[in-house]
């Protein structure tokens, strides 16, 4: 009988966690968390902090490859490039001036603008080919970018916004 009690006592003591054990486990866990956090910060510090920014200036061409009365939807730079006449080029932003949605070129146009329009799918704004607002809620025209010709290519600079009277480059 006495031996049986000893065995029971032994089993009971095996399940008891002392205060010291408890705090040791908490300490070990906390140290592990801190070490993992430090490792993450160190790895983040060592990895290159490169911001892949799309260049503001880009080229399209050669010019003879851009068909007269055509539109190029350059999704990478969010720009529509128009060639209206044999040598008349201009570039308009495809970012809606309402809340920044990406607009779409609609070649079918709308009543009064059969030549095509730029339409925003978000809230219904419509712009003409030169970026003028035909239908709100867009508060202003689309940005028009500086275009120049260099070595038989169009160079479009999305950092240079120009007025409507300066948007067209003729070749």
Binding site for ligand FES (CB under 6 A): 96, 98-99, 101, 120, 122-125, 137-138
Q: Would you say 63 or 122 has its CB closer to ligand FES?
A: 122
Which residue shows structure tokens 């970012």? 95
Q: Would you say 120 or 154 has its CB closer to ligand FES?
A: 120
- Burial (0-12, 13-18, 19+ Cβ within 10 Å), 74: middle
Name the CA dihedral angle for 164, 110, 104, 79, rounded to a multiple of 10 degrees.
-20
* Beta-ladder partners of 109: none
Q: How far is the CB of 126 from ligand FES (least distance, A)?
A: 9
Q: Which residues of 84-120 are buried (b: 16+ CB within 10 A; e: fewer)?
A: beeeebbbbbbbbbbeebebebeeeeeeeeeebbbbb
Q: Would you say 82 or 127 has its CB closer to ligand FES?
A: 127
Instruction: Kindly tell me the sign of the dihedral angle through the C-alpha atoms of 127, 132, 135, 136.
Output: positive
Q: Would you say 90 or 127 has its CB closer to ligand FES?
A: 127
């Amino acid at each position: 009988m006495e031996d049986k009690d000893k065995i029971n006592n032994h089993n009971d003591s095996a399940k008891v966690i002392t205060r010291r054990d408890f705090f040791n486990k908490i300490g070990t866990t906390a140290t592990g968390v801190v070490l993992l956090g430090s490792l993450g910060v160190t790895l983040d510090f060592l990895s290159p902090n490169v911001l892949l920014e799309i260049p503001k200036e880009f080229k399209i061409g050669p010019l003879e490859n851009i068909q007269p009365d055509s539109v190029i939807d350059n999704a990478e730079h969010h720009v529509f490039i128009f060639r209206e006449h044999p040598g008349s080029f201009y570039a308009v932003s495809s970012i809606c001036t309402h809340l920044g949605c990406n607009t779409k070129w609609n070649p079918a146009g709308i009543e009064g603008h059969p030549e095509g329009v730029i339409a925003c799918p978000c809230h219904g704004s419509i712009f003409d080919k030169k970026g003028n607002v035909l239908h709100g809620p867009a508060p202003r025209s689309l940005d028009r970018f500086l275009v120049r010709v260099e070595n038989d290519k169009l160079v479009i600079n999305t950092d240079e916004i120009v007025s409507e009277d300066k948007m067209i480059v003729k070749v």
